[in-house]
Amino acid sequence: MTNMFTNTSLLRKSRAAAELRFRWFGRIAIGISLAFLFIMVGSIINKGKSVLISSDIAIIIDLGPNQVDPNNINQTGFDALIKRSLRATFPEITSRSDKKKLYGLLSADMGFELQKQIIANPNLLGISQKLWFTASDDVDLLLKGSVDLTTQEGDRRISNLEINWIAKLKKSGNTRSHFNKKFFMNGDSREPELAGILSALVGSILTLSVCFFVSFPIAILAAIYLEEFAPKNKISSFIEVNINNLAAVPSIVFGLLGLALLLNVFGLPRSTPLVGGLVLSLMTLPTIIIAARASLRSVPPSIREAALGMGASPIQATFHHVVPLALPGILTGTIVGMAQALGETAPLLMIGMVAFIADVPSSIIEPATALPVQIFLWADASERAFLEKTSAAIMVLLVFLILMNLLAILLRKKFEKRF
Amino acid sequence: MIAQLLESNEQFDVDSPNMPNEAVTLSKPFNITTRNSSNIGEYAIKFIMVACSMVAIAVTVGIVFSLFFESISFFQRVSISEFLFGTKWSPQTALRADQVAAEGSFGAVPLITGTLLISFIAMCVATPLGLFSAIYLSEYASRRARNVIKPLLEILAGIPTVVYGFFAALTVAPMLRSTGENIGLNVSSESALAAGLVMGIMIIPLISSLSDDVINAVPQSLRDASLGLGSTNSETIRKVVLPAAIPGISGSLLLGASRAIGETMIVVMAAGLAANLTANPLEAVTTITAQIVALLTGDQEFDSAKTLSAFALGLLLFIVTLILNMISLKIVNKYREQYD
């Protein structure tokens, strides 16, 4: 008797323990997934936030009449002028390799920057004065404290000599840091300190516009037909199976389709937002159709019956009464589809939107790149300064995705009707 | 009075085919043109709508044809059996005709095993995490917790794959490498493990949300019966709910596997291009998708075997994922009907 009693209590204990274990498995699984999300986003923000600040270096430049000819600014050798001024700031430097390092403190664009400053403000001419220039990427990282100074000199991209020069400049107040406008105003560049995301952003916007204007009308009409008009026959169910399968086809296959059909057969221009948008629209079609159908299905039949009963034709009943009620849901699905398209990279690589594009594209038939492709390109670049650029570009991409999803949620909340 | 009737009839009759005959005849002189034009308009709208829904079929046909034709011209240069069973992948083609080793070798086996290895690792990560998340969310979590956790998990699904790729290549891979060094293992900097782990995380929301739906579709009466017999929650889930939901869950796992096989950016950025034939997750492998990207980015001649092989790989990928998708969709749909 007592034996049996202890057995059941033991059993009960082990069953309760199993219950608890099982519950904790679930909690741990969710915990790991969410921890990964936070670590990933956190590490990207951590790496990318420093991009918001960029550093300048000031040097004294003699723009006297014997250095610059006011009537002939474009012909002046500004690079040489700046190099001369740099040498004057550090007169102790004599060896050729050190001089080269010295010139490398400033961005490769320094001559052009000086020219721009003079054109913007001709009063600078004729006197010798302190002017600000963009620091090179390595100096920028050093000034932002992103360089680990405890490592061996050979292991970092910046030597002790250069660190001393910068320390000297810093002491005399000749360095400053400010909000990095260039990152948002420039196109891509080989020089990390000049590279920006504007061209990729505009490319993405153009591509998404093409994608929207192609996929939205087609998807919405297809969804209306399949949900409201299609007879229940083999062809309809074949179309349905087709759409469901297309939604799960790997995105790179759509890229192959774009390459073989749009570029090689139809001869559309390579690397352009037009082709990119078309390929992405084929990809987002199934997403929008599925969402739109679900939304149309949620409109109760009584609405249709009432419209038909008042003498509306099926088309009128659909377009005047059912579609407006389903529209918020359709738009939500469309925005989700567009957000997917915005983050898509692989098909764009296939159709050549992976080229180096420095200029901001102004039409859909000019070569362009897109934000995720820019991230891919920068992630591959060797300079350490591109690491923070990549993280920052990811942050910009995520901000856009969050905004789109917020819009979708707001739409759903605001117009959601329960029938 | 009659005029009023006619007027109203005109309004009604324009679009309603079901009006009584009388009314139609009455109103005929007034609206015959509007009636016709509106019918033509309606036909046009219907025609456009049919055409739009045909686009889905056209896309599928376009994919099949474009992959098929390029693949045929590839298989004229390289035999199918060499492609499917060859174990050496080095798609270098000659610049000059007389060059040594002018013909590349196109054995896709290392790519297939590499793809399977990475997908397997991904599924090993995603299956337990996704499934347990789904079980917890649908059976244990309070409504409030569910409302917070579910959208957070869906964020994982919304993050672009290029971001996962960046994270895998620049954070996870170096971390694995240094951990491996500490415990005396030689981990490649482009290991299959890093790509697989991160890909697994990417698939979690797919599996958890599909399984969640399936588990929720199991009728409450089954649970009540089991609980009424005195089993605990976890026993009910393990012995009643999960067996009832198994077909749907396997469908979601297949869909996850198809997603893993077709995933491109993570493997392009984290797995590299070394076509090793190995089952060791610490070594570098390459995948079908990574090779397609490597073969087709940059300048290419369109009639070389190297370029065309990408389409053969694409066809292989398309067929495999299509089969997986069709099976899983069928299972999921059939199962849904069963309990509806």
B315: pLDDT strictly greater than 70: yes
Q: Between B6 and A252, whose confidence is greater?
A: A252
Nearest residue on chain B to A245, alpha-carbon basis? B325
- The pLDDT value recorded for residue B103 is 62
Q: Which of residues 355-374 of A touch B (CB under 8 A)?
A: 372
Alpha-carbon distance of A402 to A407, in angstroms, equals 8
Closest C-alpha to A141, from A47, A222, A12, A250: A47
Which of the four pLDDT bands, split at 50, 70 and 90, describes residue B336?
A: low
Alpha-carbon distance of A140 to A145, in angstroms, equals 9
Tell me which chain A residues have a C-beta less than 8 angstroms from the C-beta of B264. Answer: 250-252, 345-346
- The pLDDT value recorded for residue A417 is 67
Selecting from A29, A40, A352 the residue whose C-beta is nearest the C-beta of B129 gives A29
Which of the four pLDDT bands, split at 50, 70 and 90, describes residue A381?
A: confident
| Residue A61 φ then ψ, to 5° | -120, 130
ipTM rounded to 2 decimals: 0.88
- The pLDDT value recorded for residue A156 is 77
Alpha-carbon distance of B40 to A81, in angstroms, equals 76
Q: Provide the percentage of residues in chain B whose pLDDT is more than 70.
A: 82
CB B114 within 8 A of CB B270: no
CB atoms within 10 A of CB A37: 18
Nearest residue on chain B to A30, alpha-carbon basis? B133
| DSSP bridge partners of B105 | B90
Closest C-alpha to B49, from A237, A286, A230, A242: A230
* A126 φ/ψ sector (left φ>0, alpha ψ -120 to 50, else beta): left
| Residue A311 φ then ψ, to 5° | 100, 10
Residue B92 forms contact with A (CB below 8 Å): no
- Best of A251, A345, A351, A354 to disrupt the B interface (most B CBs within 10 Å) is A345
Half-sphere exposure of B57 (CA within 13 A, CB side): 12
Chain segment B201-257, per-residue pLDDT in tens: 999 999 999 899 889 888 999 999 999 999 999 999 999 999 999 888 999 999 999
Characterize the bridge pairing of strands B105-106 and A128-134: unpaired
CA distance B310 to chain A (A): 9
Selecting from B56, B297, B321 the residue whose C-beta is nearest the C-beta of A243 gives B56
Residue B214 forms contact with A (CB below 8 Å): no
B91: pLDDT strictly greater than 90: no
- The pLDDT value recorded for residue A146 is 76
Which of the four pLDDT bands, split at 50, 70 and 90, describes residue B97?
A: low
Alpha-carbon distance of A106 to A59, in angstroms, equals 10
Chain segment A257-266, per-residue pLDDT in tens: 999 999 888 9
| Residue A300 φ then ψ, to 5° | -65, 150
CB B19 within 8 A of CB B12: yes
A3: pLDDT strictly greater than 80: no
Residue B268 forms contact with A (CB below 8 Å): yes
CB atoms within 10 A of CB A177: 14
Closest C-alpha to A392, from A40, A35, A46: A46
Alpha-carbon distance of B4 to B257, in angstroms, equals 67
Chain segment A118-154, per-residue pLDDT in tens: 888 877 777 788 888 888 888 888 888 777 777 777 7
Q: Which of residues 270-289 of B touch A (CB under 8 A)?
A: 289
Cα–Cα distances in Å, from A325 out to A40, A225, A377? Answer: 39, 16, 44
Order of all β-strands in the sheet with A175-179: A128-134, A53-62, A175-179
- Best of B153, B163, B171, B307 to disrupt the A interface (most A CBs within 10 Å) is B163
Alpha-carbon distance of A222 to A123, in angstroms, equals 64
Q: Between B143 and A89, whose confidence is greater?
A: B143
Closest C-alpha to A345, from B254, B253, B114, B267: B267
A166: pLDDT strictly greater than 90: no
- Best of B19, B54, B59 to disrupt the A interface (most A CBs within 10 Å) is B59
Among A39-43, A95-99, B189-193, B256-260, name the one with the lowest average pLDDT.
A95-99
Chain segment A64-123, per-residue pLDDT in tens: 777 777 667 666 678 888 888 888 888 887 788 888 888 888 888 788 888 888 888 877
Alpha-carbon distance of B214 to B187, in angstroms, equals 39
- The pLDDT value recorded for residue B96 is 54
Stated as kind and residue range, the H or E segment containing A30 is: helix A2-48
Q: Which domains does chain B have, with CATH numbers?
A: 2-75 (no CATH), 105-339 (1.10.3720.10)
Q: Cβ–Cβ of A397/B160 closer than 8 Å?
A: yes
Q: Cβ–Cβ of A29/B128 closer than 8 Å?
A: yes
- Mean pLDDT within A212-234: 92
Chain segment A83-93, per-residue pLDDT in tens: 888 888 888 87
Which of the four pLDDT bands, split at 50, 70 and 90, describes residue B7?
A: very low
Mean pLDDT of chain B: 83
B35: pLDDT strictly greater than 50: no
- The pLDDT value recorded for residue A199 is 92
| DSSP bridge partners of A53 | A179
CB atoms within 10 A of CB B285: 31
Residue A289 forms contact with B (CB below 8 Å): yes
Mean pLDDT of chain A: 87
CB atoms within 10 A of CB A51: 27
CA distance B223 to chain A (A): 15
CB B19 within 8 A of CB B13: yes
Q: How many interface pairs between A and B have CB atoms less than 8 angstroms apart?
A: 257
- Best of A46, A226, A235, A252 to disrupt the B interface (most B CBs within 10 Å) is A252
B340: pLDDT strictly greater than 80: no
**CA angle in degrees (0–180, nearest 5) for A308-A309-A314:** 10
Rg of chain A over all Cα atoms, to the nearest angstrom: 31
B21: pLDDT strictly greater than 50: no
B13: pLDDT strictly greater than 70: no
CB atoms within 10 A of CB A168: 13
Among B111-120, B162-171, B177-186, name the one with the lowest average pLDDT.
B177-186
B23: pLDDT strictly greater than 60: no
Helical H runs in B76-170? 80-85, 109-135, 143-158, 161-167
| Residue B310 φ then ψ, to 5° | -60, -35
- Mean pLDDT within B93-99: 54
Nearest residue on chain B to A396, alpha-carbon basis? B163
Tell me which chain B residues have a C-beta less than 8 angstroms from the C-beta of A217. Answer: 52
Q: Provide the percentage of residues in chain A whose pLDDT is more than 90.
A: 40
Tell me which chain B residues have a C-beta less than 8 angstroms from the C-beta of A352. Answer: 297
Which of the four pLDDT bands, split at 50, 70 and 90, describes residue B89?
A: confident
Measured over the CA atoms of residue B252, residue B255, residue B257 and residue B263, the dihedral's sign is negative
Residue B132 forms contact with A (CB below 8 Å): yes
Nearest residue on chain B to A387, alpha-carbon basis? B170
CA distance A160 to chain B (A): 27
CB A151 within 8 A of CB A142: no
B170: pLDDT strictly greater than 70: yes
Residue A401 forms contact with B (CB below 8 Å): yes
